Chains A and B, each alone.
Chain A
Amino acid sequence: MITTAKPATISYTGPMKRISVDGVSRVAVSHARLCIAALCLLCTVQVFAADEQPVGGGDSAQVAASVPETKAYDLANVRQNQLLPGHIADVEALKDRLKNTRAIGIFTKLAIRSDIMDLVTEIAMYRKQSLLPERMPQVRSSFEGLILKIMALLEGDPALSRDLYTNRELLWKNLLEVKA
């Protein structure tokens, strides 16, 4: 049996066209609309993918997938710190910034290090003599004085000065944990 196809009849004009072939109604979307829809979908997918990517860009996604979970957590912390000024997650980052700042010279840095070591030795001595709870206010005031001195010296690096002040409780806890 030979069937002959009827010519398509267009019911209305516009981007959405209804074409009737052999009595079956079909909707044909114009090429322009399809392209726009595909582009929108692509953009949406990329935005969601970018939110899930670690700091560093697309090529680092595979590297980030291979690092342990702790490293991934550090990356998340770094990203969070960039978003929240004045908040530092770990003391090591703060130490590195103090070591590398150009606002103070090498002799001043050595003097600060020397002061910190003296404070650590003092804490260890009081702990050994079981006098630490009694002497705690005295040691704490020495620590606060040292922080204020460092802040005064860091005029050229106000961001570091602010971060030292806002994280002084964290530094204090870290200082108490150090074994002399």
Chain B
Amino acid sequence: MKRWLMLSLLILLAVPVAEAVTEAQDIAATILLRGYDCGGRQVSQINKRTDNRGNQTIQATCPNGVRYQINIAADGHVTVSPLH
């Protein structure tokens, strides 16, 4: 009985988690939104860093092999550029 209860609780908790997008999917969607080809819906090799002014820089590789840099300014402005 206790086992069944735990299982149903796990399913109930797992459903909302499954609905949320992962960081890899989120970054891929941002790249696609800026009009760049990614070749898939998830990126890999994510590197993030934030400078002392609050600007965030993310580098990630798309399934097509192209590596992109996403700059998120402290005011929320987002730019994407491919890395060569």
Contacts and interface: CB of A to CB of B under 8 A. Distances in A.
B33 A156 contact: no
Contacts, number: 56
Interface stretch (A26-34, A57-65, A112-120, A167-175): A112-120
B26 A108 contact: yes
Main secondary structure of the interface of A (DSSP, over half): helix
A106 interface: yes
Nearest to A113: B76
B72 to A, nearest CB: 6
B76 A105 contact: no
A107 interface: yes
Contact of A102 (B19, B34, B70, B72): B19
A147 interface: no
Contact of A105 (B26, B34, B72): B26
Interface of B: 16, 19-23, 25-27, 29-30, 32-34, 58, 70, 72, 76-78, 80
Give me the 8 closest cross-chain CB pairs, A-B, nearest first: A105-B26, A111-B78, A108-B29, A107-B30, A114-B78, A105-B21, A102-B20, A111-B30
